[in-house]
Amino acid sequence: MMSLKNKKILLVIGGGISAYKALDLIRLFKKNDVDVKTILTKSGKEFVTPLSITTLTKNKTFEDIFDKNTEAEIDHIALSRWADLIIVLPTTANFMTKLSIGKAEDLATTVLLASDKEILLVPAMNVRMWFHKATQQNLKILQDYGYLFIGPEKGEMACGEYGEGKMSSPRQIFSYLKNYFDQKNLVKNKNFKALVTTGPTKEYLDPVRYISNESSGKQGYEVALALKKLGIKTKLIAGPSNLIYSKNLKIKKVTSAKEMMYEVKKSLPVDIAVCAAAVSDFKPINKSKNKIKKDASKFNNISLEKNPDILDYLSKNNKARPKIVVGFSAETENVIQNSKKKIKEKYCDLIIANDVSKKDSGFNSDYNKVSIIDKKGKVKSIPKNKKSYIANIIANIILVKLLMNDKNIN
Ligand code: PMT
């Protein structure tokens, strides 16, 4: 396992009594050969001084967005590009609000808004502030934007109250970072590959009419993005959708189940397969070359046949079975019970069960509410949240499973 040696950390010091702990964290970083640059916010300066920070980091402390002395030396974009990771410590309730609405009012918020790096927030505030609906709502928004969080912990706070709101200690933050970089490094070295199916399929009866469903492709797309963010080489095989896909993701667009199956087969071998597509179960046996006339008797008698089952093919593939096969299960009743049956029938490692009977989650919504079920029947339910948030949880569970699997094999 590697350490944090030579990593570059940009530390944004916020305005809270716990700001003084930034100095202990910097000391820990320097002892472990981590390069640290800092941005001191205006309110952070009420608690720690630029001189004490610079003495420890041996680097200049950045303060003002319009600093004539430093803008030529390093601008706000370059500061973020330089870093391997950005930390905001302490993250106050007020700072969370600014981030959740995308404010860029000073150097710190501008750097964060313009950043393409992962950002770790370390909240510290009074317990009532933390549990206030506004803060909890901001937490959800920020998690959805992809911010990472450590803490807050339970304990006695500076104001004398007890509860959740105490900032994680420098040691806890340091060990979180060690795990974070170790995992990134491990994934990079393993060169894991994943394929994800998403969206509906269209099965044409004639050149203009087809059988399909309401799937937008969002949930699978978000899972693909989340896997990629973990450093896994990911290919998305997507049925017809209006989504605008990120240029950074490898995507193959398909129309029918037959094409989807063809692309899946072409993408093997992979370590992970996630089948989020709502593949049409049936297709017309014959597709008419020309548009079928309205009065044609053919419409009274459309013959259908079963489409190939892609998930089934993957999980029962003796020669090239992905190490982790994940299915989705769309149900409108007895969701858990029916999905537990499906995990056995389809022989997959995990099944993500979603209730698709409601309009505000599941098909064609930005939200979903899922239960993650494993082969032993253990159920982890995730309350309704953005599909991106749910995708991150699923991707992390898959990665942990894969790493454990690899450890057992090696
Ligand atoms: O696309 P969105 O609008 O974001 O909506 C997301 C979703 C609701 C479509 C998604 O979360 C979901 O549930 N996808 C699976 C839908 C589905 O077809 O479920 P199922 O229970 O019918 O199928 C079970 C599994 O078998 C699925 O993993 C499916 O991809 C797979 N399957 C099914 C049939 C088939 N011919 N081939 C398959 O691979």
pLDDT at res. 68: 56
Mutate to test the pocket of ligand 1, among 195, 197, 215 (most ligand atoms within 8 A of CB): 215
pLDDT at res. 64: 77
Atom number of ligand 1 nearest to Cα 199: 1
Mutate to test the pocket of ligand 1, among 221, 259, 264, 311 (most ligand atoms within 8 A of CB): 311
CATH class of 8-187: alpha beta
Atom number of ligand 1 nearest to Cα 351: 28
Atom number of ligand 1 nearest to Cα 306: 36
Question: Which stretch of DSSP H or E encloses residue 327?
Answer: strand 324-331
Closest-CA residue to 399 (of 188, 124, 197): 188
Mutate to test the pocket of ligand 1, among 202, 242, 275 (most ligand atoms within 8 A of CB): 275
Ligand 1 center–CA 317 separation, angstroms: 19
How far is residue 13's CA from residue 63's CA, in Å, rounded to a whole number?
10
Closest-CA residue to 217 (of 342, 386, 373, 366): 366
Ligand 1 center–CA 75 separation, angstroms: 47
Nearest alpha carbon, ligand 1 atom 37: 309
- Ligand 1 binding pocket (C-beta < 6 A) is 197, 199, 215-219, 257, 275-279, 281, 307, 309-311, 327-330, 342, 354, 356, 362-364
For residue 90, is pLDDT > 80?
Answer: yes
Residue 6 or residue 144, greater confidence: 6
Q: What is the mean pLDDT of residues 335-339?
A: 96
pLDDT at res. 30: 97
Domain boundaries, the chain: 8-187, 191-409
pLDDT at res. 31: 97
How far is residue 251's CA from residue 331's CA, in Å, rounded to a whole number?
27
Atom number of ligand 1 nearest to Cα 387: 4
Average pLDDT, the chain: 93
Give the model confidence (pLDDT) of 297-317 as tens digits: 777 788 999 999 999 999 999
Ligand 1 center–CA 8 separation, angstroms: 42
Ligand 1 center–CA 262 separation, angstroms: 17
Q: Indicate the pTM of the whole model.
A: 0.84
| 261 touches 255 (CB < 8 A) | no
pLDDT at res. 71: 54
For residue 73, is pLDDT > 70?
Answer: no
pLDDT at res. 260: 98
pLDDT level of residue 21 (50, 70, 90 thresholds): very high
For residue 332, is pLDDT > 60?
Answer: yes
Strands (E), 64-156: 85-91, 119-123, 148-149, 153-156
SS3 362: coil
Nearest alpha carbon, ligand 1 atom 17: 278
What fold does the segment set 191-409 form as a domain? Rossmann fold (3.40.50)
For residue 72, is pLDDT > 70?
Answer: no
CA quadruple 68, 17, 130, 8: dihedral sign: positive
Nearest alpha carbon, ligand 1 atom 16: 278
Nearest alpha carbon, ligand 1 atom 18: 278
- Other Cβ atoms within 10 Å of 299 Cβ, number: 12
One-character DSSP codes across 218-253: HHHHHHHHHHHHTT-EEEEEE-S------TTSEEEE
Atom number of ligand 1 nearest to Cα 307: 36
How far is residue 67's CA from residue 259's CA, in Å, rounded to a whole number?
57
For residue 359, is pLDDT > 90?
Answer: no
Give the model confidence (pLDDT) of 129-153 as tens digits: 999 999 999 998 998 888 999 999 9
Give the model confidence (pLDDT) of 155-192 as tens digits: 888 778 899 999 999 999 999 999 999 988 989 899 99
Active site residues: 159
Ligand 1 center–CA 198 separation, angstroms: 8
Q: What is the mean pLDDT of residues 317-339?
A: 96
Q: What is the mean pLDDT of residues 77-85?
A: 92
Name the DSSP class of 215.
Answer: -
What residue type is assigned to position 198 of the chain? T
Ligand 1 center–CA 212 separation, angstroms: 12
Residue 128 or residue 76, greater confidence: 128
Name the DSSP class of 20.
Answer: G
For residue 200, is pLDDT > 80?
Answer: yes
Give the model confidence (pLDDT) of 233-284 as tens digits: 999 999 999 999 988 899 999 999 999 999 999 999 999 999 999 999 999 9
CA quadruple 145, 226, 151, 361: dihedral sign: positive
Do 191-409 and 8-187 fall under one CATH topology? Answer: yes
How far is residue 331's CA from residue 378's CA, in Å, rounded to a whole number?
18
Q: In percent, how much of the chain has pLDDT > 70? A: 96
